[in-house]
Amino acid sequence: MNDESVEPTTTTTNTATVVCEAKILFRQLKPFPVIDENNNFKIETAHFLESSNQIIDAIACFGKLFSPIVRDMQQNVQKIMVKYKQNETLFQYLEDLILKDKDGNDNPFDTVTDGLLWLKRAFEMMEQFFRNLLEDTTRSEQVKPHLKKAYEECLLPYHGFLAQKAFQISRVAKVEPNDLQWNGNHKRKDGQYFLDTANGGKLKQS
Protein backbone atom coordinates (compact mmCIF):
# COMPACT_ATOMS: atom_id res chain seq x y z
CA MET A 1 0.00 0.00 0.00
CA ASN A 2 1.19 3.51 -0.69
CA ASP A 3 1.19 6.36 1.84
CA GLU A 4 -2.18 7.62 0.63
CA SER A 5 -3.95 4.33 1.29
CA VAL A 6 -6.54 3.98 4.01
CA GLU A 7 -5.31 2.32 7.20
CA PRO A 8 -6.08 -1.39 7.52
CA THR A 9 -9.16 -2.41 9.48
CA THR A 10 -9.89 -5.61 11.37
CA THR A 11 -12.84 -7.96 11.43
CA THR A 12 -13.45 -10.71 13.96
CA THR A 13 -14.60 -14.13 12.74
CA ASN A 14 -15.48 -17.23 14.70
CA THR A 15 -11.91 -18.49 14.36
CA ALA A 16 -9.67 -15.44 14.30
CA THR A 17 -9.31 -11.72 13.88
CA VAL A 18 -8.55 -10.94 10.25
CA VAL A 19 -6.55 -7.85 9.32
CA CYS A 20 -8.32 -6.18 6.41
CA GLU A 21 -6.20 -4.06 4.12
CA ALA A 22 -7.83 -1.00 2.60
CA LYS A 23 -7.50 -2.72 -0.74
CA ILE A 24 -7.70 -6.48 -1.14
CA LEU A 25 -5.18 -7.53 -3.77
CA PHE A 26 -6.82 -10.58 -5.30
CA ARG A 27 -3.77 -11.23 -7.44
CA GLN A 28 -1.72 -11.82 -4.31
CA LEU A 29 -4.05 -14.52 -3.05
CA LYS A 30 -2.93 -18.08 -3.66
CA PRO A 31 -4.96 -19.51 -6.57
CA PHE A 32 -6.69 -22.84 -6.24
CA PRO A 33 -4.67 -25.80 -7.53
CA VAL A 34 -4.89 -26.33 -11.26
CA ILE A 35 -6.51 -29.65 -12.11
CA ASP A 36 -4.46 -31.27 -14.87
CA GLU A 37 -3.42 -34.68 -16.10
CA ASN A 38 0.17 -34.20 -14.94
CA ASN A 39 -1.10 -34.64 -11.40
CA ASN A 40 -3.63 -37.35 -12.24
CA PHE A 41 -6.34 -34.69 -11.94
CA LYS A 42 -5.87 -34.67 -8.15
CA ILE A 43 -6.05 -31.63 -5.88
CA GLU A 44 -3.46 -31.19 -3.13
CA THR A 45 -5.31 -30.84 0.16
CA ALA A 46 -2.86 -28.42 1.81
CA HIS A 47 -2.84 -26.15 -1.24
CA PHE A 48 -6.63 -26.20 -1.43
CA LEU A 49 -7.01 -25.36 2.27
CA GLU A 50 -4.51 -22.50 2.08
CA SER A 51 -6.24 -20.98 -0.94
CA SER A 52 -9.64 -21.43 0.68
CA ASN A 53 -8.57 -19.70 3.89
CA GLN A 54 -7.08 -16.74 2.03
CA ILE A 55 -10.22 -16.21 -0.02
CA ILE A 56 -12.50 -16.61 3.01
CA ASP A 57 -10.43 -14.05 4.94
CA ALA A 58 -10.81 -11.66 2.01
CA ILE A 59 -14.58 -12.20 1.92
CA ALA A 60 -14.74 -11.60 5.69
CA CYS A 61 -13.32 -8.13 5.07
CA PHE A 62 -16.25 -7.23 2.82
CA GLY A 63 -18.41 -6.51 5.86
CA LYS A 64 -21.23 -7.86 8.03
CA LEU A 65 -23.50 -8.72 5.10
CA PHE A 66 -21.19 -11.63 4.32
CA SER A 67 -20.83 -12.94 7.89
CA PRO A 68 -23.26 -15.90 7.53
CA ILE A 69 -21.49 -17.32 4.50
CA VAL A 70 -18.06 -16.64 6.02
CA ARG A 71 -18.92 -18.56 9.20
CA ASP A 72 -20.29 -21.46 7.21
CA MET A 73 -17.22 -21.64 4.98
CA GLN A 74 -14.85 -21.43 7.95
CA GLN A 75 -16.61 -24.29 9.71
CA ASN A 76 -16.36 -26.49 6.63
CA VAL A 77 -12.69 -25.67 6.07
CA GLN A 78 -12.01 -26.50 9.71
CA LYS A 79 -13.77 -29.82 9.31
CA ILE A 80 -11.54 -30.69 6.35
CA MET A 81 -8.43 -29.43 8.15
CA VAL A 82 -9.05 -31.61 11.22
CA LYS A 83 -9.36 -34.72 9.06
CA TYR A 84 -6.29 -33.78 7.00
CA LYS A 85 -4.16 -33.28 10.12
CA GLN A 86 -4.94 -36.80 11.28
CA ASN A 87 -2.71 -38.16 8.53
CA GLU A 88 -1.21 -35.60 6.16
CA THR A 89 0.51 -38.27 4.08
CA LEU A 90 -2.58 -40.42 3.63
CA PHE A 91 -4.76 -37.39 2.94
CA GLN A 92 -2.32 -35.54 0.69
CA TYR A 93 -5.01 -35.21 -1.98
CA LEU A 94 -8.68 -34.37 -1.59
CA GLU A 95 -9.61 -37.47 -3.57
CA ASP A 96 -7.84 -39.70 -1.04
CA LEU A 97 -9.48 -37.86 1.85
CA ILE A 98 -12.91 -38.38 0.33
CA LEU A 99 -12.31 -42.07 -0.40
CA LYS A 100 -11.21 -42.68 3.20
CA ASP A 101 -13.87 -40.44 4.71
CA LYS A 102 -16.33 -43.27 5.14
CA ASP A 103 -14.09 -44.73 7.85
CA GLY A 104 -14.27 -43.52 11.43
CA ASN A 105 -17.25 -41.18 11.29
CA ASP A 106 -19.71 -41.64 14.15
CA ASN A 107 -22.26 -39.46 12.40
CA PRO A 108 -22.69 -40.45 8.73
CA PHE A 109 -24.31 -37.07 8.03
CA ASP A 110 -21.38 -35.07 9.43
CA THR A 111 -18.55 -36.10 7.15
CA VAL A 112 -15.62 -34.29 5.60
CA THR A 113 -17.06 -35.04 2.18
CA ASP A 114 -20.26 -33.30 3.21
CA GLY A 115 -18.24 -30.31 4.44
CA LEU A 116 -16.33 -30.19 1.17
CA LEU A 117 -19.56 -30.26 -0.81
CA TRP A 118 -21.00 -27.33 1.16
CA LEU A 119 -17.74 -25.41 0.82
CA LYS A 120 -17.85 -25.94 -2.93
CA ARG A 121 -21.42 -24.64 -3.06
CA ALA A 122 -20.46 -21.59 -1.00
CA PHE A 123 -17.59 -20.76 -3.34
CA GLU A 124 -19.95 -21.13 -6.28
CA MET A 125 -22.30 -18.69 -4.57
CA MET A 126 -19.50 -16.13 -4.18
CA GLU A 127 -18.49 -16.66 -7.79
CA GLN A 128 -22.08 -16.00 -8.83
CA PHE A 129 -22.19 -12.90 -6.61
CA PHE A 130 -19.15 -11.42 -8.36
CA ARG A 131 -20.61 -12.38 -11.72
CA ASN A 132 -23.86 -10.60 -10.85
CA LEU A 133 -21.87 -7.56 -9.77
CA LEU A 134 -19.82 -7.50 -12.96
CA GLU A 135 -22.85 -7.95 -15.20
CA ASP A 136 -24.85 -5.17 -13.52
CA THR A 137 -25.11 -2.59 -16.29
CA THR A 138 -26.49 -0.01 -13.84
CA ARG A 139 -23.24 -0.21 -11.83
CA SER A 140 -25.29 0.15 -8.66
CA GLU A 141 -23.49 0.25 -5.32
CA GLN A 142 -26.26 -1.81 -3.74
CA VAL A 143 -24.70 -5.23 -3.27
CA LYS A 144 -27.42 -6.94 -1.22
CA PRO A 145 -29.64 -7.80 -4.25
CA HIS A 146 -26.67 -9.40 -6.01
CA LEU A 147 -25.79 -11.50 -2.97
CA LYS A 148 -29.41 -12.48 -2.36
CA LYS A 149 -29.79 -13.60 -5.98
CA ALA A 150 -26.57 -15.63 -5.78
CA TYR A 151 -27.78 -17.30 -2.58
CA GLU A 152 -31.15 -18.17 -4.09
CA GLU A 153 -29.47 -19.76 -7.11
CA CYS A 154 -26.61 -21.62 -5.42
CA LEU A 155 -27.51 -22.47 -1.80
CA LEU A 156 -31.24 -22.04 -1.21
CA PRO A 157 -32.21 -25.20 -3.16
CA TYR A 158 -30.17 -27.27 -0.67
CA HIS A 159 -31.06 -25.46 2.57
CA GLY A 160 -33.65 -26.58 5.08
CA PHE A 161 -35.72 -24.22 7.22
CA LEU A 162 -33.07 -23.56 9.90
CA ALA A 163 -30.30 -22.97 7.38
CA GLN A 164 -32.53 -20.58 5.46
CA LYS A 165 -33.10 -18.61 8.67
CA ALA A 166 -29.36 -18.38 9.27
CA PHE A 167 -28.80 -17.12 5.74
CA GLN A 168 -31.74 -14.71 5.53
CA ILE A 169 -29.88 -11.91 3.82
CA SER A 170 -32.97 -9.72 3.72
CA ARG A 171 -32.93 -9.53 7.52
CA VAL A 172 -29.32 -8.44 7.81
CA ALA A 173 -29.01 -4.87 9.06
CA LYS A 174 -29.15 -2.24 6.34
CA VAL A 175 -25.84 -2.29 4.52
CA GLU A 176 -24.40 0.85 3.05
CA PRO A 177 -21.99 0.75 0.10
CA ASN A 178 -19.08 1.49 2.44
CA ASP A 179 -19.85 -1.65 4.43
CA LEU A 180 -18.51 -3.65 1.52
CA GLN A 181 -15.24 -1.95 2.48
CA TRP A 182 -14.04 -1.26 -1.04
CA ASN A 183 -12.90 2.16 0.26
CA GLY A 184 -12.99 3.50 -3.26
CA ASN A 185 -9.99 1.44 -4.30
CA HIS A 186 -11.53 -1.77 -5.61
CA LYS A 187 -12.29 -2.01 -9.30
CA ARG A 188 -14.55 -4.40 -11.09
CA LYS A 189 -11.47 -5.97 -12.61
CA ASP A 190 -10.71 -7.31 -9.12
CA GLY A 191 -13.99 -9.19 -9.22
CA GLN A 192 -13.14 -10.47 -12.68
CA TYR A 193 -9.79 -11.74 -11.40
CA PHE A 194 -11.60 -13.55 -8.59
CA LEU A 195 -13.77 -15.27 -11.20
CA ASP A 196 -10.77 -16.15 -13.33
CA THR A 197 -8.98 -17.61 -10.32
CA ALA A 198 -12.01 -19.60 -9.20
CA ASN A 199 -12.62 -20.98 -12.68
CA GLY A 200 -8.96 -21.92 -13.06
CA GLY A 201 -9.05 -24.30 -10.15
CA LYS A 202 -12.73 -25.08 -9.81
CA LEU A 203 -13.71 -28.41 -8.35
CA LYS A 204 -15.58 -30.71 -10.66
CA GLN A 205 -19.32 -30.25 -10.61
CA SER A 206 -21.13 -32.68 -8.36
String of DSSP letters for 56-79: HHHHHTT-GGGHHHHHHHHHHHHH
Global pTM reads 0.68
Please state the rounded mean pLDDT for residues 60-70. 87
Whole-angstrom Cα distance, residue 83 to residue 176?
39
Q: Is the pLDDT of residue 139 over 60?
A: yes
Tell whether the model's pLDDT for residue 21 goes beyond 50.
yes
Spans of all domains in the chain: 28-170
What pLDDT, on the 0 to 100 scale, is given for residue 205?
41
pLDDT of 44 strictly over 80:
yes
Q: How confident is the model at residue 49 (pLDDT cuts 50, 70, 90)?
A: very high
The domain covering 28-170 belongs, at the CATH homologous superfamily level, to: Glycolipid transfer protein (1.10.3520.10)
Pairing of strands 9-12, 17-20: antiparallel
